[in-house]
Amino acid sequence: QVQLVESGGGAVQAGGSLRLSCATSRSILSFNTMDWYRQAPGKQRELVAAITAGGITDYADSVKGRFTISRDNAKNTVYLQMNSLKPEDTAVYYCKGSLIVIPWEDYWGQGTQVTVSS
């Protein structure tokens, strides 16, 4: 069974930073693109950042220049470094991935809450 577990969320003031972690139950090299999503109350879940198996990254326009997605292969962990946080970044953040050998199945973490106060 594939497990993804997010951690690192919390409450910060605007302008602060957080680093989210997504620990996986197997090598992250076995995954297709690993994604970070977020969902604010009453809003649709949106893609925030992605990193491909080859290490190519992409970001939503709203977080470009502030967020950085990265991975640590030795720790089987994907990170989301969030700097210059804004109140509108407040949401539950989820990591998502699919296995290269089972690309039709998506796996989601349980989510971690990020709250940014003004």
Q: State the average pLDDT over residues 25-44.
A: 93
- Say if CB 93 and CB 9 are below 8 A apart: yes
- What single letter denotes the amino acid at residue 45? R
Whether the predicted pLDDT of 108 surpasses 90: yes
pLDDT attached to residue 66 = 98
Q: State the average pLDDT over residues 25-41.
A: 92
Render pLDDT for 69-104 as a digit per residue (tens, 0 to 9).
Answer: 999 989 999 999 999 999 999 999 999 999 999 989
Whether the predicted pLDDT of 60 surpasses 90: yes
C-alpha distances (whole Å) from 107 to each of 4, 11, 13, 47, 85 are 7, 26, 31, 15, 27
Q: Determine what percent of the chain falls in helix, strand and coil, rounding each to the nearest 5.
A: 10, 55, 35
Confidence bin at 34 (pLDDT 50/70/90): very high
pLDDT attached to residue 1 = 80
pLDDT attached to residue 28 = 86
